Amino acid sequence: MKKEYLFIIIIVVSLVLAGCLDSPKTGTIPSLYETYAGYFDIGAAVGVGHLGTVHDIFKKHFNRFTAENDMKAGPIHPAKETYCFDNGDAIANFARENGKKLNGHTLVWHSQQPYWLFHDEGGNAVSETELRSRLYDHITTVVGHYKDIIDNWDVVNEAISDSPGKTYRDGKEGSEWYGIFGDEEYIKLAFQYAAEADPDALLFYNDYNAVAPSKVAKIKKMVQWLQSEKVKIDGIGLQGHWNLEWPSLTDIKRAIDEYSSLGLKVKISELDISIYNDYAGGSFQPEAEKRYTKEIEYKQAERYRGLFELFRAKKDVIVHVTFWGVSDDATWLDYFPAGQRNNHPLLFDDNHQPKKALKAIVNF
């Protein structure tokens, strides 16, 4: 080997070891959650299948988890007298064994709810009194089961309407909770029951597009009602299902400040950055599938960098940031909202290798 080539190799290896150049392996990148130890926790959504495929990434880069689907009412409570805790327990045990924390997601939602919850054996809608009883039993049992490991719950998910002039999602918008109760009383009861089941857990309301000014106003109205009723609510979960350009950092900051003004904490509960903008014209118009080019990867990394600069500035309000997944080979955005279309929204690529986005948020 010529001396000049040997010299170049020595220099490159030295730079890698010094951290000036990044190896493609995760080992050369600092732990994400340790980097943010002075700011807030860093989490990831996980399914049971992930535990055997990206467990090393989980262990190194995240210090809290959210069960992506396995603690929702449909999977965990498929029949009135039947609870299926196996998958949720596997995730909880993984957290316990590795010294991680766990978010509870979600107790009340209009989607992924079991049919039996709202209907009797004849298929008729149950009474409000019966639904109230079922709500109490579900929350008390599930929260009590994970009381030792879950320190916060998404108590109610997506109960606010997107329709102008209407605050709550009603029966016409798919909420059987509202349809049977006839109003938003079920929201108050859910928070009350969760507080009784675990007085120490932080209780959150969780929603998408919760930084849009019109929706912020509706959520604040709901929170002020709960507070006037002396109901415990500790914070708002912002489902960060955002894209390369939307929403603006200004809107995100304004929303965080608005919620903070009510004495609430904020968590970024479901963060991923889509490479598509299907609502550029206001209405839904899916973009055609596109290649994940170096230019897009760079733009995504800069987007993540800007978001985390804002999050760090709001560390006194933000309690944790949770990514909705870990690697691009297992993201719900490949199938939503436009059918099967390859997306690349997360910090690790299809081969579980770190992307520029990860480097952008650990190097500050």
Q: Please give the positions annotated as active site.
A: 158, 270
Q: Could you give the CA distance from residue 216 to residue 259 in angstroms, rounded to a whole number?
A: 8
> Which DSSP string corresponds to 167-179?
-B--GGGT-HHHH
- Cβ-count burial of 124 within 10 angstroms (0-12 exposed, 13-18 middle, 19+ buried)? exposed
Asked if residue 234 lies in contact with residue 202, where contact means CB atoms within 8 angstroms, the answer is yes
Q: Calculate the CA 24 to chain-centre distance.
A: 27
DSSP reduced 3-state for 272: strand
| Distance in angstroms (rounded) separating the CA atoms of residues 179 and 130 | 14
Beta-carbon count within 10 A of 115 CB:
11
* Residues facing 267 on adjacent strands: 237, 320
The size of the chain, in residues, is 364
DSSP strand E in 79-182: where? 101-108, 150-157
C-alpha 67/C-alpha 88 separation (Å) is 7
DSSP state of 118: G
| Measured distance CA(302)–CA(317) in Å, rounded | 23
| Cα atoms found within 13 Å of the Cα of residue 107, Cβ hemisphere only | 35
Note the maximum CA span of the chain.
Answer: 84
Amino acid at 12: V
